[in-house]
Amino acid sequence: MIVITGASGFIGSVVLGYFNQKGRMDILAVDEFDNSLKWRNLSAKKFVDFIDKEEFLTKLNDYKDITSIIHLGANTDTTVSDLKTLMTSNFEYSKRLFSFAADKNIPFIYASSAATYGDGSNGYMDDEDNLFKLRPLNAYGFTKQLFDQWVLLSCKRPYFWAGLKFFNVYGPNEYHKGKMASMVYQSYCQLVKNKKIKLFKSYDNKYAHGEQKRDFIYVFDVAKIIYYFYKHRGISGIYNVGAGNAESFNTLAHLLIKYSKIKGEIEYIDMPTNIRDKYQYYTEASVKKIVKSGFDKSLYSIEDGIKEYVEQYLKMEDQCF
């Protein structure tokens, strides 16, 4: 039986659906319904049972047939400043699951984050030797970094584990995330409602307004990568999960206008002063390590991903709330 935590969330529900497509139905879905809309993400998915994430911890040793753990559940709100809450969700909970996996020697795949890279001054290389030099810019990134470090320093680990640093993931099933939804989703909804896409002005002379860049990766590519590690279980370690190609917010906006067929425009707005000193102007995943591991499947381009997301999901399901 495969355990997927965060199974009703954005990435978790897509991964669950992807495993179903690969013929895997023996899945224990773990999560909490902390949002009244998230149940929709489990519609048409197949799994043997669903259990609340806290109850799951109390019953861990009752499960004798767990063959893999894919830990995607976390508090992903990058604006939360309550470190105690984040530490409980993102660090202590993850430690409990990892220790269980290590004791039972169960393969463990978990979600880390590109937020651990901070301002990028130490690069975006997923080399474990570089990991302890990273300085996250917010509490969320700190908790993810702390768990990465804890895993690397652990004396006991399962025979295979992989920490996946997700970059800017976008795609179906993120409608419930509100302000934490991707820029793709938020910009599309702005376009639908106001015929405008608002982008932050640049406060760095090296970047024009809207030319701030991110590594955007389509959620189905994330699911494909997770399934790859589940199947192949090669060399354990930390891996970047990104497209390996930075794209500007202007590019994203123009593609949304193109495929939504809405005559909209871009408006550049002031960046809030409280985030200006924490703002990342450029992120781009180094994907050499994951390619070297054997993953060589082609990924969606930003244009193909946005086209599919808009035409097959956003426009069809009217997901802007």
**Residues acting as catalytic residues:** 140, 177
Query: Strands, E, within 168-212: which ranges?
Result: 168-170, 196-200
**Dihedral, 92, 97, 103, 104 alpha carbons, nearest 10:** 180
Instruction: Give 17-23's long-range contacts (Cβ < 8 A, gap of 24+).
Output: 17/44, 17/45, 17/223, 18/220, 18/223, 18/224, 18/226, 18/227, 19/227, 19/230, 20/45, 20/46, 22/227
Q: Angle, to 10 degrees, between the axis of helix 183-194 and the axis of helix 249-260?
A: 50
Give CA separation, 79 vs 137, 156, 195, in Å: 11, 33, 27
Taking 3-state DSSP, the helix, strand and coil percentages for the chain, each rounded to the nearest 5, stand at 45, 20, 40
* Token pair 């400043």: residue: 81
Nearest Cα to 47, choosing from 99, 80, 12? Answer: 12
Backbone φ and ψ for 245, nearest 5 degrees, come out as -150, 120
Nearest Cα to 28, choosing from 58, 61, 6? Answer: 6
Pairing between β-strand 246-248 and β-strand 168-170 as defined by DSSP bridges: unpaired
